[in-house]
Amino acid sequence: MQETKANFVWKFGVVSSLAPGVLREVELKKIILVTLCVFSITACAVNSYRSDFEFASKLAKEGLWQEASYRLQKALAAGNNSAALHNNMAVALESLGRYEEAQREYELALKLAPANLQIQNNFSQFKKNHRKDDNEK
């Protein structure tokens, strides 16, 4: 009598006595499941960044600069490093009177996107306003 089951195989800490074809199918399902989990976690991280970024924009439009800066900082802490993110953070910090930090953020934004006219204009206006503040002191 020929045995159709494979010899016991040690896989992922579990002893298996499944037939070879079934074993391969189970392993493929595990690989697919792990791959799907990785993609969904990555998608959640991207969605989290987008939602923080978009929510911060809405908060800024309402004049809620402290909360907007918190959301933008959260997106930065998650490892997102876009020129738009740094520009928006600079605008929020400028609105909060945190001028040195705002300048650093504008400089980072321009370093990432030197040809971006919006960032150039924002930074130019920032420098003009800040110079005016220095002259009034």
Q: DSSP alpha helices (H): ranges in 2-116?
A: 20-61, 65-77, 83-95, 99-112
Cβ pair 69, 89 in contact under 8 A: yes
User: With left for phi above 0 and alpha for psi between -120 and 50, is residue 3 left, alpha or beta?
Assistant: beta
Nearest residue to 56 (alpha-carbon basis) of 100, 79, 90, 81: 90
Over 50: is that where the pLDDT of 9 sits? no
Q: What is the CA radius of gyration of the chain?
A: 26
Which pLDDT does position 11 carry in this prediction? 40
Cβ pair 76, 89 in contact under 8 A: yes
Which pLDDT does position 131 carry in this prediction? 79
When pLDDT is averaged across residues 54-71 and rounded to a whole number, the result is 88
**Within its chain, how far is the Cα of 18 from the centroid?**
43
CA–CA distance, 45 with 79 (Å, rounded to integer): 10
Cα dist from 114 to 53, 72, 90, 99, whole Å: 21, 21, 15, 21
When pLDDT is averaged across residues 32-50 and rounded to a whole number, the result is 52
CA–CA distance, 86 with 116 (Å, rounded to integer): 12
pLDDT band at 45 (very low <50, low <70, confident <90, very high): very low
Over 90: is that where the pLDDT of 14 sits? no
Output the CATH code of domain 15-136.
1.25.40.10
* Residue ranges of domains in the chain: 15-136
